[in-house]
Amino acid sequence: MPRCTWPRSDECDSNRRYRPDSAGSRSPAVATLATIVDGGSRFAVVPTLRSDGVFVVPTDRAPARLTQQQRTAISRTRILDAAVDVLARQGYSAATTLRIQQEAGVSRGRLLHQFPSREALLVAAVHHVAVARVDDLKQLDDWPRGPEERIDRAVEVMWSTFHQPYFWAATELWLAARANENLREALLPQERALGRLVKESIAAVFGADLCARPGYEIVREVLFASMRGIALTYALDPRDPASDPHVGEWKTIARRLLLDSES
């Protein structure tokens, strides 16, 4: 009987269904291949996303044999997702290469072959998951048609990004980079590149019409900086972000700056 090993056995239930909440930061959106083991051979299949949000690993299909490139991609994704998971849950000091190797379920040699230093691994991990999230935002298409409703929804979507594991993983790296020159040098160019992608994703969230209005850039910068600052308070005082009173205030500010000029 074929068995699923993607990414780890404890991330699938007894019916070989991937549990999205089983591994914290692991993102099935970027883990595009499952691994099936059958009779000592390893094969690649593509997980199917059902309408209820469950990824189903189709063990009953005739799979294609894994190539070396696919095996490398799978192990790389497991390592990067594990690194973000450890960073977000346990912090920078706990995110050693040994701990990440154990969490990813890969050999020491495989991890070090792809990421020769801890700094390179951690920076690549946060960038990997953040880019996947940015790409997801760009793909959203169920936006309200009215400008007021579009603004409200855009604010909610922006705010939700500050409560993902990669936000806390990135925060851990920022704080560690303050006193770690090697980490800072590795992190800075990646953060600049990511900053450009974030601006693109926010523009996609607000839409072309609102982005063309005079107050848009002010709205974007004020919301981003304010949301990041408020999100940090959740480290000491965890609560439901959907009920945060600032959400209503951000919507009001955005509406005034983007729509009042029409009056």
The pLDDT value recorded for residue 138 is: 81
The yes-or-no verdict on residue 129 having pLDDT over 60 is yes
The reported pLDDT for the residue numbered 13 is 43
> Which pLDDT band holds residue 137 (cuts at 50, 70, 90)?
confident
Residue 16: pLDDT above 90?
no
- DSSP track, 41-110: EEEEE--EE-TTS-EE--TTS-PEEPPHHHHHHHHHHHHHHHHHHHHHHH-GGG--HHHHHHHHT--HHH
Q: Which helix (H) or strand (E) holds 182?
A: helix 181-206
Q: Specify the pLDDT at position 136.
A: 84
Of the pLDDT bands very low, low, confident and very high (cuts 50, 70, 90), residue 152 is: very high
- Domain residues of the chain, as ranges? 3-114, 144-262
Ranked by mean pLDDT, the top range of 5-9, 19-23, 200-204 is 200-204
The pTM score is: 0.71
pLDDT tens per residue across span 166-202: 899 999 999 999 999 999 999 999 899 888 988 999 9
**CB-neighbour burial class of residue 91 (10 A; exposed 0-12, middle 13-18, buried 19+):** middle
Report the pLDDT value the prediction gives residue 25, as an integer from 0 to 100: 38
Residue range 217-249, pLDDT digits in tens? 999 999 999 999 999 999 999 999 999 999 999
3-state secondary structure of 35: strand
Answer yes or no: is pLDDT of 8 > 80. no
pLDDT at 21 over 50: no
pLDDT, tens digit (0-9, with 9 covering 90-100), for 65-93: 778 888 888 889 999 999 999 999 999 99
Do 27 and 135 meet the contact criterion of CB atoms below 8 Å apart?
no
Mind listing the pLDDT tens digit for each residue in 26-80?
A: 443 334 444 444 444 444 555 555 555 555 555 555 556 778 888 888 889 999 9
Q: Give strand pairing partners of 49.
A: 55
pLDDT score, position 59: 55
Contact 152/207 with Cβ under 8 angstroms? no
E-strand spans in the chain?
3-4, 17-18, 34-38, 41-45, 48-49, 55-56, 64-65
Question: Which strands sit side by side in the sheet containing 41-45, from one edge to the other?
Answer: 3-4, 34-38, 41-45, 64-65
Residue bearing the bigger pLDDT, 10 or 66: 66
CA atoms of 52 and 72, how far apart (whole Å)? 30
Higher pLDDT, 104 or 28: 104
